[in-house]
Chains A and B, each alone.
Chain A
Amino acid sequence: DAKTTQPPSMDCAEGRAANLPCNHSTISGNEYVYWYRQIHSQGPQYIIHGLKNNETNEMASLIITEDRKSSTLILPHATLRDTAVYYCIVRVAVKGGANSKLTFGKGITLSVRP
């Protein structure tokens, strides 16, 4: 699986958008970009994933650059409960999106301040 690079930490004000960057310059054509987050003491939680088109769900939006070498996770209105470690993962799609290894890096710690 391709490696990802994320800054170690960032913060944002409550109610503002949080834009979390991720570089994945060696991503292959059959690899998806996934985002998970881990709130303190809990298991990681799936947020969103995409291949090349931008994606949006009830939690967040995922913007993938045209060359697919980087992406941004956007939390449109961050709350204190969004304080967590966010992991960007690239992962081979096997047989129409089925699983392969799901490997976590260090992630980015997002601190939402009041």
Chain B
Amino acid sequence: DAGVIQSPRHEVTEMGQEVTLRCKPISGHDYLFWYRQTMMRGLELLIYFNNNVPIDDSGMPEDRFSAKMPNASFSTLKIQPSEPRDSAVYFCASSPGVQAFFGQGTRLTVV
């Protein structure tokens, strides 16, 4: 398996634009996590899904952020409208039960 695949790896966008980050989990994993990492706040859990259903979205910072998992092989994290303070590395992880496997992350820069 190729592991958790995130795209794009880097994204630069202007303030106010919509940004969509994508994640393909490892086949057969029924948990999916989205994280954001910054120097100031560290690694923050934004939301996680079990069997495509959102279980806990208490980490989503505000209504500008939304996440979906339309099927077991794909998830998106959308920011609309984006702001400079959203600049961070966004990680997706999937898990079959015990250990989580992380993607390489998407580095988002909002200018």
Contact = CB atoms under 8 A, between A and B. Distances in A.
Contacts of A81: none
B103 interface: yes
Contact of B102 (A45, A99, A101): A45
A98 B29 CA distance: 11
Nearest to B100: A102
Interface residues of B, number: 23
A44 interface: yes
A106 interface: yes
Interface of B: 4, 31, 33, 35, 42-45, 48, 50, 56, 91, 93, 95, 97-105
Given A43-B4, A46-B99, A49-B99, 8 more contacts: A43-B93, A43-B102, A46-B100, A49-B98, A97-B98, A98-B31, A102-B95, A103-B45
